C-alpha cells in the first residue's frame, strides 16, 4: 500500500523568503505525484502535477525517486500563498484516478 | 467550468440518525469520490465510484455506504451517525482513468451530537 507523509503540520515564513513544503512517499511502483492547495474559504484545487514539470504561481516540485520525495518550492513567498497544501500520490496502473493524500501542511506567510 | 456541488454546507445531526450527503457534478465525469478531511489526518478516501451503480471501498469505509444511481450524483450515507463521524466531508469528481485532475466540492461540515 502507498503512503504519503508531510512531516510539517505548520510552516511559517516571511514574505520574500524561500519556502519548501516537504512531501515523502512510499510506493514500490512508479508513482504520479500532485500538489493540491486550499486557500481560505475556497475549494481544494490542483496546484501542479509532477508529470507536467511546470511552474504554477512560482511554485515548482521535482520528483526525486531516489529519495522518494516531491517537495514543493518557491524562491520568494508571497502573502497570498498562505493556504493548506496537500501532497497526493496516484499509484501507477491504478484506474479511476484514485489518490492517496498526505496529512497536509498549513503555510502562513507573514508580511 | 466544472462545478461540483454538495447539498449542505453545514449539517447537525444526532447520534443514531441516518444521514445523507449529496454530491452533484455537471461535467459528465465518470469518477466520483467521497473524502473526509480531519486536522492532522489530511484527506482520507471513504468510497469512490467509477460508473453508475459501481462503487469501491476506499481507505475508511466503515460506518458509511454510498449510492450512485445517476452519473451526475453520488450520495454518501451514514446509516447510524456517531460522534466520531463529525468531520468535513469533501466530494470530488474526475474524468476517465488517467492523470485527470480531481475537482472538489465546497465541503459539508457535519456535526454529530
pLDDT in tens, A40-63: 999 999 999 887 878 889 999 989
- Which one, of A97, A42, A95, lies nearest residue B93 by Cα? A97
Contact B31 A43 (CB under 8 A): no
Give the tens place of pLDDT for each residue, B12-47: 999 999 999 999 999 899 999 999 999 989 999 999
Supply the DSSP symbol for A93.
T
Q: What is the pLDDT of residue A92?
A: 67
Whether the per-residue pLDDT at B97 is higher than 80: the answer is no
> Under the phi-then-psi rule, with left for phi > 0, alpha for psi from -120 to 50, and beta for the rest, what region is A107?
beta
B1 pLDDT band, cuts 50/70/90, is low
Contact B58 A104 (CB under 8 A): no
CB A44 within 8 A of CB A38: yes
Q: What is the pLDDT of residue B48?
A: 93
Among A45, A95, A100, the residue with its CB nearest the CB of B97 is A95
Name every chain A residue with its beta carbon within 8 A of the beta carbon of B41: 103
CB A48 within 8 A of CB A62: no
Average pLDDT, stretch A7-27? Answer: 96
Across-strand partners of A45?
A: A37
Name every chain B residue with its beta carbon within 8 A of the beta carbon of A4: 42
Rounded to a whole number of angstroms, the distance from the CA of B56 to the nearest CA of chain A is 11
Amino acid at each position: 500500500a502507498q503512503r504519503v507523509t508531510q512531516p510539517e503540520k505548520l510552516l511559517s515564513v516571511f514574505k520574500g523568503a524561500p519556502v519548501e513544503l516537504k512531501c515523502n512517499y512510499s510506493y514500490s511502483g512508479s508513482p504520479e505525484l500532485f500538489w493540491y492547495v486550499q486557500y481560505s474559504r475556497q475549494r481544494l484545487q490542483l496546484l501542479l502535477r509532477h508529470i507536467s514539470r511546470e511552474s504554477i504561481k512560482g511554485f515548482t516540485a521535482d520528483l526525486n525517486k531516489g529519495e522518494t520525495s516531491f517537495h514543493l518550492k518557491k524562491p520568494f513567498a508571497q502573502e497570498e500563498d498562505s493556504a493548506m497544501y496537500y501532497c497526493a500520490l496516484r499509484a501507477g496502473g491504478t484506474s479511476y484516478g484514485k489518490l492517496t493524500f498526505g496529512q497536509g501542511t498549513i503555510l502562513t506567510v507573514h508580511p | 467550468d466544472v462545478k461540483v456541488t454538495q447539498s449542505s454546507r453545514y449539517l447537525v445531526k444526532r447520534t443514531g440518525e441516518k444521514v445523507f450527503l449529496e454530491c452533484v457534478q455537471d461535467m459528465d465525469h465518470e469518477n466520483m469520490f467521497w473524502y473526509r478531511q480531519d486536522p492532522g489526518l489530511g484527506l482520507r478516501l471513504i468510497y469512490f465510484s467509477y460508473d453508475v451503480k459501481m462503487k469501491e471501498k476506499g481507505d475508511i469505509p466503515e460506518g458509511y455506504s454510498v449510492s450512485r444511481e445517476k452519473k451526475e450524483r453520488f450520495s454518501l450515507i451514514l446509516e447510524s451517525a456517531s460522534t466520531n463521524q463529525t468531520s468535513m466531508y469533501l466530494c470530488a469528481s474526475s474524468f476517465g482513468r488517467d492523470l485527470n485532475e480531481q475537482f472538489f466540492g465546497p465541503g459539508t461540515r457535519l456535526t454529530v451530537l
